[in-house]
Amino acid sequence: MHHYIEKILRAKVYDVAEETPLDYAPMLSDKLENRIYLKREDLQPVFSFKLRGAYNKIASLTPAQTVHGVIAASAGNHAQGVALAAKKLGIKALIVMPKTTPEIKVKSVKARGAKIVLHGDSYDEAYAHAQELVADKGMTFIHPYDDPEVIAGQGTIAMEILRQHNADIHAIFVPVGGGGLLAGIVAYVKFVRPEIKVIAVEPDDADCLNQALKAGQRVILEQVGLFTDGVAVKQVGAEPFRLAQQFVDQVITVSTDEICAAIKDIFDDTRSVAEPAGALAVAGMKKYIEQQGVRQQTLVAIDSGANINFDRLRYVAERTQVGEHREILLAVAIPETPGSFLKFCKTLGKRSITEFNYRYFDQQMAQVFVGITSSGVESDRRQLIEQLVGDGFKVTDMTGNELAKDHIRYMVGGHAPCELNEKIYSLQFPERPGALLKFLLALGSQWNISLFHYRNHAAAFGKVLIGLQISASQCVAFEKCISNLGLMYQHETDNPAYRLFAGRSVGPVAE
């Protein structure tokens, strides 16, 4: 411990790194009934804490160790730290990155002058290739986490936290990949303020530290999830594991949905967008508060990075509602009779439907995929399912089904199994609570719905695609009905997209 304290106090990180703020998060604090602070490592020049350890390590090398340059293996953030540190010190750098690395990180590394080799689908494959290049080129390897100088560089974060907030702190939450950040923080905190809990947070599909602590030794995971790419590591470092065994108070694992919800929480308070690994600590902190019932305590979460591809935000937004327990996803069997969908909506009462996917297939029962708003309390889902079952509906809970959320929800339906003589309309209506139920009440039970798709995107207008088994003469009455509701509509039966992918006709479609 004395060894690490000395290294942390002498670390040379501030030649390139910033002392980042410890920001109070008012919205999170109010929602979680605790005093929440975010350590803003996303504000570093490379938008990640990794710069600290990389620079401290490279600055400690002798001229003989740097004559052929330095090399690193990284999913992105360590790579940027090494590239910037090497450029600052006038040393050439080569970075081996997994092919799955987000493009924004690859471009950032190139922009800082380092050469890049893309190899493998995970950090471990990139690491193995980097070791081969070390032997071939005589370069010095800069380990991202399993090195005392790197650990000491990351430990300066703990030094700043305790200086910036010298009052009571209940716990500090730290994201974990290989464990270098955790090792540096726990070494400093447990020496200076041992009463403060240090809690490690990992994704539940990449929990190498959690599994190692359970086994009493380091283990190698067979595979790791890639969503939280910054911590997608199969084996925790040897030195971080040694320190974690002695001093870490607890390990918490979180789901993809919980991480996405934490990204939104950070955005709401800071207007910055964390990468999945960057929001990991906040996700773990929220879960800890829920499990332990902690109230009116001071909690610190490390916002470790903000290197996220813009096009991933669509996926993050989609999963956030489930992560916040504000959307329930169900497969529900509904009798294939006019008015059954209306009965289903009446059963839901004041709840809003966020999504409804359905395609006529069987004359007896319809199988629908539905998203329903929730209060944010986990028990609300159980109560809703019990209510639907009590009203005679057969329900399968899809909220925790990864296949359903990633794929099946977009694949419900397909071509009609027989000729339905249906008419297709696209509709728009002002998006407000109860708008969809009002629309269905106006339709009543006079027309049979053969196709229905609706997805609430939190926009000003809701959009519905609806198919009805009605004659050409009945179209007049239907269009009059929706016009009286003030809804915008368009007749889509001849739309080639419908005919190719959802209608009965599967032959060539004329332009």
Q: Is 332 in contact with 368 (CB distance < 8 Å)?
A: yes
Same fold, 2-47+148-320 and 52-141: yes
Least confident of 6-10, 131-135, 202-206, 505-509: 505-509
Length of the chain equals 511
Tokens of 411: 């694949």
Report how far residue 329's alpha carbon sits from residue 381's, in angstroms, rounded to the nearest whole number: 9
> What b/e sequence results for 398-422 when a residue is b if at least 16 CB atoms lie within 10 Å of its CB, and e otherwise?
bbeeeebbeebbeebbeebeeebeb
Q: Is 382 in contact with 375 (CB distance < 8 Å)?
A: no
> What b/e sequence results for 261-283 when a residue is b if at least 16 CB atoms lie within 10 Å of its CB, and e otherwise?
bbbbbbbebbebbbbbbbbbbbb
Q: Which residue is catalytic, options 48, 60, 108, 304?
A: 304
Indicate whether this model's pTM tops 0.85: no
Reading phi first (left if > 0) and then psi (alpha if -120 to 50, else beta), residue 402 is in alpha
pLDDT tens digit sequence for 96-152: 988 877 777 788 899 999 999 999 877 778 889 999 999 899 999 999 999 999 999
Q: Is 447 in contact with 478 (CB distance < 8 Å)?
A: yes
What pLDDT, on a 0 to 100 scale, did the predictor assign at position 485?
83
Q: Is 180 in contact with 237 (CB distance < 8 Å)?
A: yes
Q: In whole numbers, what is the pLDDT of the chain averaged over residues?
A: 89
Long-range contacts (CB closer than 8 Å, 24 or more residues apart) made by 443-450 = 443/342, 443/481, 444/339, 444/342, 445/338, 445/339, 445/342, 446/338, 447/338, 447/474, 447/478, 448/338, 449/338, 449/341, 449/358, 450/359, 450/360, 450/416, 450/420, 450/422
Highest-pLDDT range among 70-84, 123-137, 276-290, 366-380: 276-290
For the domain spanning 325-501, the CATH number is: 3.40.1020.10
SS3 per-residue string spanning 261-320: HHHHHHHHHHCCCCCCCCCHHHHHHHHHHHHHCCCCCEEEEEECECCCCHHHHHHHHHHH
pLDDT tens digit sequence for 380-419: 889 999 999 998 888 989 888 877 787 777 767 776 777 7
What pLDDT, on a 0 to 100 scale, did the predictor assign at position 459?
55
Domain ranges of the chain: 2-47+148-320, 52-141, 325-501
Closest CA to 289 of 265, 271, 318: 265
Q: What is the largest CA-CA distance in the chain?
A: 88
Q: Which residue is catalytic, options 7, 12, 39, 50?
A: 50
pLDDT tens digit sequence for 234-265: 999 999 999 999 999 999 999 999 999 999 99
- Is residue 457 pLDDT above 60, yes or no? no
Strand partners, 332: 368, 395
Residue 346 is a catalytic residue: no
Banded model confidence at residue 276, pLDDT cuts 50, 70, 90: very high
52-141 folds as: Rossmann fold (3.40.50)
Q: Is 57 in contact with 153 (CB distance < 8 Å)?
A: yes
Report the relative pairing of strands 250-254 and 93-97 from DSSP bridges: unpaired
Residue 471 is a catalytic residue: no
DSSP sequence for 342-377: HHHHHHHTTPPEEEEEEE---SSEEEEEEEEE--S-
Tokens of 268: 């709401």
What pLDDT, on a 0 to 100 scale, did the predictor assign at position 321?
81
Report how far residue 260's alpha carbon sits from residue 327's, in angstroms, rounded to the nearest whole number: 13
What pLDDT, on a 0 to 100 scale, did the predictor assign at position 504?
67
CATH class of 2-47+148-320: alpha beta
What pLDDT, on a 0 to 100 scale, did the predictor assign at position 511?
39
Report how far residue 464's alpha carbon sits from residue 425's, in angstroms, rounded to the nearest whole number: 8
Least confident of 25-29, 31-35, 64-68, 307-311: 307-311
- φ/ψ of 419, rounded to 5, equals -70, 120
pLDDT tens digit sequence for 174-187: 999 999 999 999 99
Report how far residue 374's alpha carbon sits from residue 379's, in angstroms, rounded to the nearest whole number: 10
